[in-house]
Amino acid sequence: MAKSRFHCPAKLAVGAIVNLPDNAAHHAAKVLRMQVDDVLTVFNGDGIDYRAHILRIHKNEVAIKITDAQNVVCESPLHVTLGQAISSGERMEFTLQKAVELGVAQIQPIAAERSVVKLTGERAAKRREHWQNVVISACEQSGRAFIPEVAPNLSLAEWLSRPDEFGMKLLLSPNADQTLHQLEKPQGKICLLIGCEGGLSEQEQQNALLCGFVPVRLGARVLRTETAAMAALAAMQTLWGDF
């Protein structure tokens, strides 16, 4: 894999000539100072890395030609959907970035009762777009060629009312009686639900339990929301995944 790797949301195939997106073109030409004939890797989310070389650089435009394609085998054997209550500022971005690096398959932002950040309408759409770009950047860095989707924000009640196909549903709770290593290896998809800075409300927790979520704790210490997601995913990868 070439050292420089960029997301390119275009139809990619060997022999194709495409332009890098504006941000990627700027980074390649202005930041990395790449030149004509330099080699790079692009991906569009179809699970394939495409090796390419630069054909031309003109002002803010970088044209590349695809020369090779290779399936990327780095996805986790665990299919985990992260239901993350929306946290504030950089906490949410950190959570998404690390979740992608740790192999999460999908992310569902939850507008929890205690979420400090309240998002609706156009503001919610813009924030979702920003979060999706955070996910894409994490895929560029981590070598993933499939891009986890950041779903539209939902309240916990709305999300729980939807049909699911999960073989295991986990709710992180510092008061739970059991830990991850006490559970049997899950069959099928996994759902991991994590609260925001103030945690989920008592009612939200009860609603999750009524929908089949199993409460688990991560040791005897209370973790911050951004730490909880990272620690839980790393533990799951160690117990059942590819760590």
Q: Do 64 and 52 form a contact (C-beta atoms < 8 A)?
A: yes
Reading the chain (243 residues) residue by residue, the pLDDT tens digits are: 446 999 999 999 999 999 999 999 999 999 999 999 999 999 999 999 999 999 999 988 999 999 999 999 999 999 999 999 999 879 999 999 999 999 999 999 999 998 888 888 888 899 999 999 999 999 999 999 999 999 999 999 999 999 888 999 999 998 899 999 999 999 999 999 999 988 999 999 999 999 999 999 998 888 999 999 999 999 999 999 999
Q: Do 208 and 193 form a contact (C-beta atoms < 8 A)?
A: yes
Burial class (CB in 10 A: 0-12, 13-18, 19+), 31: exposed
55: part of which helix (H) or strand (E)?
strand 48-58
- Residues 126-149 as b/e (b if ≥16 CB within 10 A, e otherwise) read ebbeebbebbbbbbbeeebbebbe
Q: In angstroms, rounded to a whole number, what is the distance separating the alpha carbons of residues 188 and 185?
A: 10
Q: In angstroms, rounded to a whole number, what is the distance separating the alpha carbons of residues 238 and 243?
A: 5
pLDDT of residue 23: 92
pLDDT of residue 207: 95
CB-CB neighbours of 199 under 10 Å: 20
- Mapping DSSP onto H, E and C, the string for 10-46 reads CCCCCCCEEECCHHHHHHHHHHCCCCCCCEEEEECCC
Domains and CATH numbers, the chain: 5-71 (2.40.240.20), 80-240 (3.40.1280.10)
